[in-house]
């Protein structure tokens, strides 16, 4: 009985520890006006029309900046970042245009998992760590990088 309890405990631990998640392959986009053909009294239709209006107004906005550079340095101690001459120079010469953020990562973490989490908003799993050694993996999930390039 103790052996069965031990096996059950290990299986329960592994099912929670080695989580897997499904990647959502849907890419968000603005629906067209033709797709909304329903009665005005319908709540879902009204919400869809609000979404279309917001999406089309967002697409018509002019970008705030012509160029954005995001520099991510992995495995650099935060207190060392201002000691690097290039980073310190950019931070001091253009304080209104530069930001330095500290990112604290919890395990499991590798560089690929961190970048995937930052771009997609998803949480990495230990199974993703094994995938990080395959350089041929393409990010299939919707993320802000693809959205920015698509615009």
The CA distance from 37 to 23, in Å, is: 31
Give pLDDT, residue 41.
61
Domain ranges for the chain? 24-62
Residues with Cβ within 8 Å of residue 109, at least 6 apart in sequence: 124
**Count of beta carbons in the 10 Å neighbourhood of residue 120:** 19
The CA distance from 109 to 129, in Å, is: 7
Give pLDDT, residue 87.
87
* Contact predicate 31/52, CB 8 Å: yes
Give pLDDT, residue 55.
72
Give pLDDT, residue 4.
93
User: What is the pTM for the complete model shown?
Assistant: 0.54
pLDDT along the chain (151 residues), means of 10: 91 77 74 59 71 67 75 82 87 91 74 80 72 66 79 64
């Amino acid at each position: 009985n103790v052996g069965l309890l031990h096996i059950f405990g290990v299986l329960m631990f592994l099912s929670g520890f080695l989580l897997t998640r499904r990647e959502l392959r849907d890419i968000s986009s603005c629906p067209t006006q033709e797709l909304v053909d329903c009665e005005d009294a319908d709540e879902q239709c009204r919400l869809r029309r609000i979404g279309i209006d917001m999406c089309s107004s967002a697409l018509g906005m002019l970008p705030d900046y012509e160029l954005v550079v995001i520099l991510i340095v992995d495995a650099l101690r935060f207190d060392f970042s201002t000691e690097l001459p290039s980073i310190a120079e950019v931070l001091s010469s253009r304080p209104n245009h530069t930001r330095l953020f500290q990112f604290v990562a919890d395990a499991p973490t590798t560089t690929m998992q961190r970048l995937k989490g930052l771009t997609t908003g998803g949480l990495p799993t230990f199974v993703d760590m094994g995938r990080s050694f395959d350089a041929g993996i393409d990010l299939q999930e919707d993320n802000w990088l693809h959205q920015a390039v698509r615009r």
